Amino acid sequence: MLAVLAHGLAAQTPEPVLGADLKLPGGALATELVAPRWDPEHQRDTCKVFHHVRAPDGTLLTKGNGGRFEHHKGLFVGWNHTRWRQREIDFWHLPKRERQVLRSFVPASELDLPKGAQVARVDWLTSDGECVVAEWRGLALAATAPDHYVLHLRNKLTAPAGDVHLAGDPQHSGQQFRSPQCFADKGAAPVLYVRPDGAKEQGNDVWTNCDWIAAVQRYGDKTFTILRIEGPRNPGAPTWSTRPYGRFGATRAITVTRDRPLVLDQYYVVANGARDAAWCSAQARRWRGHKARR
What is the enclosing helix (H) or strand (E) of 287?
Answer: helix 277-288
Is residue 137 within 8 Å of residue 110, measured between CB atoms?
no
The arithmetic mean of pLDDT across residues 195-203, rounded, is 97
Question: Is residue 162 pLDDT above 70, yes or no?
Answer: yes
What per-residue string of b and e applies to 64-96 under the rule 16 or more CB within 10 Å gives b? bbebeebbbbbbbbbbbbbbbeeeebbbbbbee
Distance in angstroms (rounded) separating the CA atoms of residues 226 and 228: 6
Domains for the chain: give ranges and CATH numbers: 27-288 (2.70.98)
Which tens digit of pLDDT belongs to each residue from 108-143? 999 999 999 999 999 999 999 999 999 999 999 999
CA 72 to chain centre: 12
More confident residue, 14 or 44: 44
Confidence of residue 241 (pLDDT cuts 50, 70, 90): very high
Distance in angstroms (rounded) separating the CA atoms of residues 274 and 148: 12
At residue 120's C-alpha, the angle toward residues 47 and 90, to 5°, is 35
- At residue 15, the pLDDT reads 77
Distance in angstroms (rounded) separating the CA atoms of residues 151 and 153: 6
In this prediction, what percent of the chain has a pLDDT beyond 90?
93
Which three-class secondary structure state does DSSP give residue 230?
strand
> How do 222-230 and 212-219 pair as beta strands?
antiparallel
pTM of the predicted model over 0.85: yes
- At residue 5, the pLDDT reads 42
